[in-house]
Amino acid sequence: MMHQSRNDLCLLLGSTFLLIVGAGRFSFDERIAGKNTRAE
């Protein structure tokens, strides 16, 4: 049971980090934005 709670905590912390910081240049949003800005 303890390993399940650790796994949940790690997933929660990882998700929180991505919500705050973002995925950066590897994110899907960045690829879409990059294509749109280059086309203009």
Supply the pLDDT for residue 39. 46
Supply the pLDDT for residue 10. 94
How far apart, in whole angstroms, are the C-alpha atoms of residue 17 and residue 33? 21
Supply the pLDDT for residue 28. 74
Residue ranges in 1-40 assigned as alpha helix (H): 2-21, 28-39
Contacts of residue 29, Cβ cutoff 8 Å, sequence gap at least 6: 23
Q: What is the pLDDT of residues 1-40, one digit of tens each?
A: 677 889 999 999 999 888 888 777 777 777 777 765 544 4
Supply the pLDDT for residue 21. 81
pTM of the model: 0.52
Give 15's Cβ-side CA count (13 Å radius).
Answer: 6
Supply the pLDDT for residue 25. 73
Rounded to the nearest 10 degrees, how much is the dihedral formed by the CA atoms of 7, 12, 14, 16? -170
